[in-house]
Chain A
Amino acid sequence: QKEVEQDPGPLSVPEGAIVSLNCTYSNSAFQYFMWYRQYSRKGPELLMYTYSSGNKEDGRFTAQVDKSSKYISLFIRDSQPSDSATYLCAMRRASGGSYIPTFGRGTSLIVHP
């Protein structure tokens, strides 16, 4: 079983929809949770960074962490065609490890006009 599971999609939604992207994980030692966005033929760029459980909001993006369920989510409100990209979740320990994150395989999102 992989430490981080992420449905590769593709997920296709109409413009303006609310998008929910999710990851599950098995390692309870993970404390830092990240979401990256990767456009085609580009490197990943950091979108959101959260520590432990709870919600974090940044504009149209909300990151949510439920450590009891080992489940994290990224919500995108009022989705735009420019949001079409692959979204990767990543997570890592706070201590006792190399601090190198473990990545999910990414979910491909397509927002059509």
Chain B
Amino acid sequence: EADIYQTPRYLVIGTGKKITLECSQTMGHDKMYWYQQDPGMELHLIHYSYGVNSTEKGDLSSESTVSRIRTEHFPLTLESARPSHTSQYLCASSESTRLGSQYFGPGTRLTVT
């Protein structure tokens, strides 16, 4: 079983609040990712990182930011939450090998009222 953790698992907040979704992995993986997933829809890549101090934006336009100060930690921050941010957020990590497959955390279900 993959050791990747996300907190909180569920979050309900009001519009305009700043929030940080936490993601940590204990596998020593260099690569980490954030995805957004709505029911019945594809995973949409929001941000990714290939290592410490490396971050890139994904395919989905997002008002979020990420940081990668430590290998094991990849937090996602929303400066001002809006109802359109209501979704499931999935964190993943992978090895830096050619066959490196992704391991996913349990997800954070965010509701912005």
Q: Is the interface of A mostly helix, strand, loop or mixed?
A: loop
C-beta contact mask, A6-48 vs B, less than 8 Å → 1, else 0? 0010000000000000000000000010101000011111100
In the complex the two chains form, is A43's CB within 8 Å of B90's CB? Answer: yes
Closest to B91 in A: A43
Across-interface contacts of A44 in B (CB, < 8 A): 43, 90, 104
Task: Assess whether B33 is interfacial by the CB under 8 Å rule.
Answer: yes
Closest to A32 in B: B99
| Size bin of chain A's contact surface | 20 to 34
Can you report 27 residue pairs joining A to B where beta carbons are below 8 Å apart? A2-B42, A8-B40, A32-B99, A34-B101, A41-B107, A41-B109, A42-B107, A43-B6, A43-B90, A43-B104, A45-B104, A46-B101, A49-B99, A88-B43, A94-B98, A98-B48, A99-B98, A100-B45, A100-B48, A100-B58, A101-B102, A103-B43, A105-B41, A105-B42, A106-B40, A106-B42, A108-B40
